Amino acid sequence: MIKEVELNIPTSFKKEPFFYNIIKDFKVVPRILEASFSTATGWAIVSFQGSSKELKRLFQQLEEKGIDINFR
């Protein structure tokens, strides 16, 4: 399954290896389609490929961490 989303990433994640942690902790393949990061905030349009169960788990954890997800 492939899901394309826009992530609005808070400043607190700026120094965290955000996408590395996703790859390490979840059985998904992220493909960054477009992104912009500044000192205040960041956003990324990402296509994630994985099982529906794993994608659900990923999105739930991201939301719990305060990352806004807009499904496309």
Q: Would you say residue 56 has pLDDT above 90? A: yes
Q: Would you say residue 16 has pLDDT above 90? A: no
pLDDT of residue 44: 94
- Exposure string for 18-36, b = 16+ CB within 10 A, e = fewer: beeebeeebebebeeeeee
Q: Would you say residue 33 has pLDDT above 80? A: yes
Identity of residue 10: P
Percent of the chain with pLDDT over 70: 100
**CA–CA dist 50, 35 (Å, integer):** 21
Domains of the chain, each with CATH number or no CATH:
2-71 (3.30.70.260)
Pairing of strands 2-10, 68-71: antiparallel
